[in-house]
Amino acid sequence: MYEIIRHLHSGWAYLVILMLLLATLNSLSGLFRNKEFTGKDRKIALFALIVTHIQLLFGLIIYFISPLGKAALSQMSDASMRLTAMEHPLINIIAIVLITIGWSKHKRLTESHPKFKTFSIFYGLGLLLILSRIPWNLWL
Ligand code: HEM
């Protein structure tokens, strides 16, 4: 069970980063080129939101079953252990909250420019936070 979830969480991370990158670049392009916000833009942002939430689910499951997580919690003075057990989960949850706020905020907006701006800020920040706390030594 642990190995299956670990592989899912590891492989799904590519999709999360790819979709967040696509959604952020698409919003920045819409913002700076003064485009109209269309159904295609909404779908890209929605897909990025969904894959990120699925990753949260995998992350929460692995957090409670990973032997690495348990070992790491008792070795907080080790930087890479601290990253895996505390910084990665905590910062990623904050990133996912930001992404979700971005999605909710865009729904209350009616004009294209503020919609693109909201996605650029909230999805862009979320992506940066996620990238800042990836346990690269475990992943690549
Ligand atoms: C969108 C956000 C996230 C991304 C992109 C992401 C990505 C990753 C990656 C690439 C790894 C290394 C996997 C490997 O061993 O090959 C990893 C490990 C891990 N992640 Fe995440 N993660 C995210 C969110 C979370 C969350 C929210 C939690 C917990 C609440 C979490 C808990 C863990 C744990 C405990 C490990 C270590 C697993 C182990 O090797 O035993 N992750 N994550």
Residue to mutate (ligand 1; options 88, 123, 137; most atoms within 8 A of CB): 88
Contact 87, 133 (CB under 8 A): yes
Q: Is the CB of 20 under 6 A from ligand 1?
A: no
Q: How far apart are CA 92 and CA 56, in angstroms?
A: 8
Contact between 97 and 60 under an 8 Å Cβ cutoff? The reply is no
Give the model's pLDDT for residue 133: 94
Q: The whole model's pTM is what?
A: 0.93
pLDDT tens-digit map of 39-51: 999 999 999 999 9
Confidence at residue 100, expressed as pLDDT on a 0 to 100 scale: 98
Residue 38 CB neighbour total at 10 angstroms: 10
Backbone torsions φ then ψ of 66, nearest 5 degrees:
-70, 125
* Surface-to-core class of residue 114, CB atoms within 10 Å of its CB (0-12 exposed, 13-18 middle, 19+ buried): middle
Please indicate whether residue 100, judged by its CB atom, sits closer than 6 Å to ligand 1.
no
Residues 70-121 pLDDT 10s: 666 666 667 777 877 889 999 999 999 999 999 999 999 999 999 999 999 9
Mean pLDDT of the chain: 93
35 vs 23: CA distance, rounded Å: 15
Nearest to 14 by CA among 44, 55, 62, 57: 55
User: How far does the centroid of ligand 1 lie from the alpha carbon of residue 10, in Å?
Assistant: 7
Ligand 1 centroid, distance to 132 Cα (angstroms)? 13
Residue 50 beta carbon below 6 angstroms from any ligand 1 atom: no
